[in-house]
Amino acid sequence: LAARGLRSVYLSDRESVFATPEADDMLRWLRAAAEPGDDRLLRTALASRSLDLPLAELARLEEDELAWEETALRWQSFNACWLRHGVLPMVHALLHAYDLPARWLAAPADASGPMTLGGERRLSNVLHLAEWLQRRAVDLDGPHALIRALAQRLAEPGGEEEILRLESDAALLKVVTIHKSKGLEYPLVLLPFIAAWREEKASASRSIGFHDTEADARVIELDGKHEEAAALADEERLAEDMRLLYVALTRARHALWLGVAPLSAGSGRKVALDRGALGQVLGAGAAIDSLAGYRAALQALAEPAAPRDGASTIVIAPAPSPDTRVWHAPAPPPPGAARTPLRHGHAPWWIASYSALVQQLGGSGALAQDAPAPTAEPEDARQDQALEEAIAPADVAPEERPATAPRGGSWHAFPQGAEAGSFLHGLLEWCAQQGFARVLEAPDALRDLVARRCTVRGWEAWIEPLCDWLPRWLRTPWPLPDAEPVTLAGLAQPKSEMEFWMPVHHADARSIDAVVRGHLLPGMNRPDLPSTQLAGMLKGFMDLVFEHDGRWWVADYKSNWLGPDDAAYGDAAIQASLLAHRYDVQAALYALALHRLLRSRLPGYDPDTHLGGALTVYLRGADAPGHGLWAVRPPRQLIEELDALLRGPEEGNAE
C-alpha cells in the first residue's frame, strides 16, 4: 500500500512502544543529556539512528573542536532544561533543536517493515515515550533514577499503555482483523481473504481441543492423532468462522468487496470451498467440490438481489489484474474569498460582582478620572471582602482622622483597612460555623482562636478587647422592620458566606442604579454607578442568611471607620456612608439573590410573606443608639423590576 501511495495503519498491532528503535535511542539521548560532559555518551547519542545526523556532520564534529564545543553546550542546555522544567520539555527542546519533526515528516515511508513506516510513526513513538517518562518522573528522584526505570522497561517491555499508538489522525486505510472490528463501522470494507479457512487436522505433533457435549466440558486431546477429536474440533472451528463471517459482512456502511476463489484444501486439486464459512453460505450447506458448482453458487447468490436504480445490489466481477499504478492525491481546491462575519464585535460576556459595579466610584462621590477596567470576579468570600474593602472610598478624609488612634479597648481604635475588615469578617464567619450560641458557652475556644489570629498579625494588644467585643456583638439586638429584634446568639441554623450566581442578559449598571434609586432612600443624593454593561453572570457572597419570625434576611458586615466615638454612627452618618459606598445597590442585589433562592426552594413562597430584607451592619457602631444597623425591607416592585432587568428578553418572565 505504501509503494502505491496509499497511506495505511494496522490497528490490530500489539507491538510495544518499548520494542521500537526510538525507545533505544531515547535511552541514549537521556544518558547524554544527564551527563553532557561525558564525550562517550554524547557521541553515542549523536550517532543514534533517530537523530539522523549525516555522516559528514559526525566526521566534522570529530575534527572541529569549536563545533564539538558548541554541540556540548547545546546538550548542557538540555540538561538545564531537564533539571528546571522536567523531562518532557527537555525532549521537546531536543526535537526542535535538531529539527527532527520536520525532517522525519519529510522523509518517505519505508515499506520494509511495520517498525519503520515513516516520520509520523517515529514522531508518535518519541512523543509516546516522552509522555511515559514525564509520568514516571513524578515518582522518581532525579534524572538517573528515570534512566534506570527506562532501561528496566526496555529489558522487559509489556503493558497495555505501551502498545503503539496510531501515528496520525489523517484519513488512512485501516488494516484490522475481524476480531478487532467487532462493534465498529467503516464506510467501505474489503475482505480479500474471506473465503480462506484453516482446517483442524489430526496430528501427532499438536494437541486438539473441543467441547464434549456429553460431559459438557472442554476436552484437550494431547496426542492429536484421533480423527474423531479432529472432526469435532473442526466443527467448532467452522462455527466460529461463521460467527466471524457475520461480523465481517456487517461492518460496511456503503459498499463491501469480497475476495472469493475456488479454493482447495491443503495441496489437493479438488475444490473444497464448502469447508470454509463463506463456502457454507454460498452452497447453503451443500458441498462445493467443482469449478462448475463454484460458478453456479456465485450466480445463485447474485440473481435474487433486487435491482436498485438500475443496478443490482450484488455484483459478481473478476478480480482486477495486478499493476504498478501509484495513487496521487488530488490538488486541494484554491481558497475562496474570505467569509464575512454577520456579527460585529464580540458578546461582552463576563462574571460581574457588586465590587465590579462600584469599583469606579471616587471618594468624592463621582467617577474616578482614571477608572480601571472591571476586575476579575472574586474566587471566594474572603477575596470578595478584600476587594470590596480595597476599592471602597474613605468615609472620613485623612485630615479628619485622629493622628493617633485612641486606646483603652475601644473598637473605634481598632486598625482600619482591608486587612482589618477581612480579619473581623473571618472571626464572625468562624462564630457562625461553630454556632453563635455555642461560642458564648466556650470562651476558652474563642480566646484561643483570637490569640492565634492576632499573634500572626502582631496584634497581641487587641486579644483582650476582641475577646470582649465578640460576645457583645453576638448579644447586640438588631432592630428589624416589621419584626421583633434579633441577636446573633438567638438565631437558629444561620448560613454564613453563601455564594450565589445569577445569569444576566445585557443589563446596564445605570438601569440597575435607576431602579434602586427609585425604591431605596428615594430623593437622597448618591454617586452614579458607571455605565457598565453586564452580560454573563453576577456573583456574590452573602455574609449571613437567617430566618426570623417566618421571614428570611441577608446581612452584610461592614468594618468602616466613621469616627472616634459612638456619636459618629448615628442614623444620618450611616446613611451617608451607605450611599457614598452604594451599599444600597449591594443590599438590593443580595435581596434579589435571596428572593430567587427562596422562590426555587420554599413551597408556596410569597415575597410579601417570606422575604424579610437586607441588613447592613456597621460593626464599630454596635454601641450607638441604632446599633450601627441599616435594615430595609425592599418593596416587592423593586425585587420584580430587578428580576426582570437581569433576566432580559431571552428568558422573559418565566418562573
Q: Which of the residues are catalytic?
A: 556
**193, 244 in Cβ contact below 8 A?**
no
Q: Please report the sign of the dihedral spanned by the C-alpha atoms of residue 482, residue 486, residue 490, residue 494.
A: positive
Separation of alpha carbons 221 and 201, rounded Å: 12
Beta bridge partners of 534: 507
d(Cα 339, Cα 253) in Å, to the nearest integer? Answer: 34
* DSSP-H helix ranges across 250-307: 277-282, 291-302
3-state secondary structure of 297: helix
d(CA 649, CA 646): 9
CA distance 64 to 370: 62
Question: Helix, strand, or coil here: 495?
Answer: strand
DSSP state of 166: P
Alpha carbon distance 421, 425 (integer Å): 6
DSSP-derived secondary structure for 367-416 = B-TTPPPPPPPPSSHHHHHHHHHHHPPPSS-GGGS-SS---SS-GGGS--
Q: Are 645 and 494 in contact (CB under 8 A)?
A: no
What CA–CA distance (Å, rounded) separates 631 from 553? 10
- Give backbone dihedrals phi and psi of 207, rounded to 5 degrees, phi first: -85, 160
For residue 478 the three cell numbers come to 438588631
Q: What angle do CA 270, 272, 278 make, to 5 degrees?
A: 150
Distance CA 386, CA 384 (A): 6
Beta bridge partners of 631: 615
93 has which bridge partners?
A: none
The DSSP annotation for 409-462 comes to S-GGGS--SHHHHHHHHHHHHHHHHH-HHHHHH-HHHHHHHHHHHHHTTT-GGG
